[in-house]
Amino acid sequence: MYAQMVKTDAARVRSLDEMEPHERAFQERVDAGQKIEPKEWMPEGYRKTLVRQISQHAHSEIVGQLPEGNWISRAPTLERKAILLAKVQDEAGHGLYLYCAAETLGISRDQMYEQLHSGKAKYSSIFNYPTLTWADIGAIGWLVDGAAIMNQVPLQRCSYGPYARAMVRICKEESFHQRQGFDALARMVKGTPAQKAMVQDALNRWWWPSLMMFGPSDDASVHSAQSMAWKIKQNSNDELRQKFVDQTVPQAKYLGLTVPDPDLKWNEEKGGHDFGEPDWEEFFNVIAGNGPCNAERLDARKKAWSDGAWFRDGLTAHAEKAADRRAAAKIAAE
Amino acid sequence: MSSEWPLWEVFIRGQHGLNHRHVGSLHAPDAEMAVNNARDVYTRRNEGVSIWVVRSSEITASAPSEKGPLFDPSNSKVYRHPTFFDIPDEVGHM
Amino acid sequence: MARAALEPAVDQAALLEFLLRIGDNALILGHRVSEWCGHAPALEEDIALANTALDLIGQTQLWLGLAGEVEGKGRSADDLAYLRDGYDFRNILLVERPNGDFGKTLMRQFLFDAWHYLLLKALKGSTETRIAEIAEKAFKEVSYHLDRSRDLVIRLGDGTAESHSRMQAALDDLWPYTGEMFAADAVDAALAEAGVIAEPQSLKPGWDEIVTEAFTEGTLKKPADGYMHKGGRRGVHTEHLGFILSEMQFLQRAYPGATW
């Protein structure tokens, strides 16, 4: 997911009886479906976990601008160019909303950037894969945004108010992202054989990384259990992955594409698809920095930040000068 | 390293006759630029809307609703500002 | 299209030429500005700049769409954008200048916006209603572009020593590309005569006023008018345009006849 394998600092999930009064009252409010707001008491672990999760989510939006941004200058029509630009711009906006939500927890945007640039903070593994053809842009909208939506829709009900509200805004704006991707692919598969081949190639490359977005099975993970108890995670990774496969396979069929999984088949009994296991070794490698584009992605972000320092400083300096001038003029007038 | 642009809270009047509503926050070097940025970030430049911005640090908030020993206002902690995103009407109560 | 026909009395070849000029300016500058997406110095700027690029792409669709109609050969805005070679492009050289640092991008934007604003303001009164309609819409957008780029040029000019020197360097570097905005040829003369456009030279005093005021406020030194580069308006470009087009047109060229 956009936030993968977020740690909670919990050794195990404790029951209400084991909690101190503060924490117990907090947990009861969460259990009752109440929202936790910035000024209210919260366990330090909850706060830290949220900072990790929200900042990872924000970083994913920002880094996620890059693979698609690659193709803005090469989009095949003026309309596709405008749609893609608007979408990548939305990602910047979503990053901004999420950074602001994290800032309510006592960390600054600059600190979060620092963690990203130093490699301390992670972002979603998916954005370390390259966009090689125009069909990849459609595939990202269809698969990657499709997978993200699976996760983001339930996050609108997350226990932390600012995060939940950011997700509401994001989900509302994002509704067109998946559709535009699918629409671009639908157009291409009806086109020339070369275009259709391009779409199949994109599905072949993006299918497994998309399934990996949900992260490895977390049924046995204490972090996952703790996050669920805090209602900052609503579904298990396997649950969401299953839902994604079940939703996507018929869409692939509609497009006349073959999902690159020989083990994929409908299981009448469970009312869902059986499917193969992603290559988790690849996943852990990508997370560890060995993905095809990790270095490029991080370098691009670091470069944007360091190249822009003079700009940010220049505007700060001007704002200070202007404030001083206003103050001086006021004194002179008195 | 230089200092970060301050944080601003953004309030927008979406239609005539309505109150300004808090829609989110952003960073900007001063108030004028915060208004410009708010137009670009939060309205996608719809015309006819009115925007207020206020430095987050200038907001005085009431203490949290649940008072008493279980909810000591933790002033030593961290919280820089309250961020409230607008909830679209169709979403209903949250 | 069921729209009012363009005045047949107006020289159609001149009209087409004009529409390509204004449409290509929006197309190439929109392309350049969009190159920043994901790479700007602050998130807020990234979002704002994308809005400018989106406006320019939208304007391109309108201007080149109308150009295709005037040409009467069934070419769409996309055909004109993606299937002409460099010598058929009519944008001024300023808009194809590489982005450089963010200051140079903003300075290029400001120099262009100040002119674009005046140009569109005049076009709102064009005798060609179709042109006046597009100008009306674009003018609103460009007024905001100008507000923003002027504001940033002033702030960065009067910011730190570094931001000042970067903005001055950008200004000195781009200044020789501003003369082409006010150059006139037979096309301009014919259209100005018919009341379709304003004489390019007539925009100069207003432009001088806008930029001079901003430079003064931003403590920047206005360069002397020396040699001015020209050529874009008649299809003679810098080397940069070829690279822009090879990137922009790649898919349309590699997969002829495909729809996207």
Evaluate if residue C35 carries a pLDDT over 60.
yes
pLDDT of residue B17: 85
Evaluate if residue A141 carries a pLDDT over 60.
yes
The model's confidence at residue A9, banded by pLDDT at 50, 70 and 90, is confident
Contact (CB<8Å) A65/C37? yes
> How remote is the C-alpha of A89 from its chain's centroid?
15
Is residue B79 in a domain?
no
Residue C145 forms contact with B (CB below 8 Å): no
The model's confidence at residue C193, banded by pLDDT at 50, 70 and 90, is very high
Amino acid at A89: Q
Is residue B72 in a domain?
no
Q: How many domains is chain C built from?
A: 1
Evaluate if residue A130 carries a pLDDT over 80.
yes
- The enclosing domain of B11 has a CATH number of 3.10.20.520
The model's confidence at residue B16, banded by pLDDT at 50, 70 and 90, is confident
Chains with 3 or more CB pairs under 8 A to chain C = A, B
Is residue B37 in a domain?
yes
Q: Report percent pLDDT > 70 for chain A.
A: 100
Q: Report percent pLDDT > 90 for chain A.
A: 91
Strand partners, B51: B12
Which of A40, A166, A316 is facing B29, going by the closest CB pair? A316
DSSP state, A278? P
The model's confidence at residue A173, banded by pLDDT at 50, 70 and 90, is confident
- What six digits make up the tokens of A311? 């700009």
Q: Cα–Cα distance between B27 and B6 in angstroms, integer?
A: 6
More confidently predicted of C71 and A220: C71
- pLDDT tens digits, residue range C194-207? 999 999 999 999 99
Amino acid at A20: E
- The whole domain housing C218 covers 11-222+231-254
pLDDT of residue A172: 86
- The whole domain housing B32 covers 5-60
Is residue B20 in a domain?
yes
**Among C143, C135, C153, residue whose Cα is nearest residue C222:** C153
Q: How many domains is chain B built from?
A: 1
The model's confidence at residue B47, banded by pLDDT at 50, 70 and 90, is low
Q: Cα–Cα distance between B86 and B24 in angstroms, integer?
A: 7
Evaluate if residue A134 carries a pLDDT over 50.
yes
- The enclosing domain of C211 has a CATH number of 1.20.1260.10
Evaluate if residue A304 carries a pLDDT over 70.
yes
Contact (CB<8Å) C48/B44? no
pLDDT of residue B72: 40
pLDDT of residue C3: 53
Is residue C4 in a domain?
no
- pLDDT tens digits, residue range A64-92? 999 999 999 999 999 999 999 999 999 99
Question: Do B33 and C48 contact (CB within 8 A), yes or no?
Answer: no
Stretch C16-44: mean pLDDT, rounded?
98
Is residue B47 in a domain?
yes
Is residue B69 in a domain?
no
Residue C44's closest chain B neighbor by CA?
B37
In chain A, which ranges are E strands? 265-267, 272-274
Q: Which residues of B touch A315 (CB under 8 A)?
A: 5, 29, 33
DSSP state, A286? I
Contact (CB<8Å) C47/B36? no
pLDDT of residue A8: 87
Contact (CB<8Å) C51/B5? no
pLDDT of residue B48: 62
Evaluate if residue B80 carries a pLDDT over 70.
no
- What six digits make up the tokens of A280? 């988790």
Q: Which residues of B touch C43 (CB under 8 A)?
A: 27
> How remote is the C-alpha of C212 from its chain's centroid?
20
Evaluate if residue B86 carries a pLDDT over 50.
no
Is residue C6 in a domain?
no
pLDDT of residue B62: 79
Contact (CB<8Å) A165/B94? yes
Is residue B13 in a domain?
yes
Rounded to the nearest 5 degrees, what angle is found at the Cα of A68, between the Cα atoms of A64 and A70?
Answer: 120
- pLDDT tens digits, residue range C125-142? 999 999 999 999 999 999
The model's confidence at residue C5, banded by pLDDT at 50, 70 and 90, is low
- What six digits make up the tokens of C158? 């009067």
pLDDT of residue C7: 64
C87-90, long-range: CB < 8 A, 24+ apart: C87/C235, C87/C236, C87/C237, C88/C20, C88/C235, C89/C20, C89/C24, C89/C28, C89/C232, C89/C235, C89/C237, C89/C241, C89/C245, C90/C17, C90/C20, C90/C21, C90/C24, C90/C232, C90/C233, C90/C234, C90/C235
Is residue B80 in a domain?
no
Pairing relation of β-strands B21-27 and B7-13? antiparallel
pLDDT of residue B85: 30
Contact (CB<8Å) C147/B41? no
Question: Do B27 and C42 contact (CB within 8 A), yes or no?
Answer: yes
Evaluate if residue B79 carries a pLDDT over 60.
no
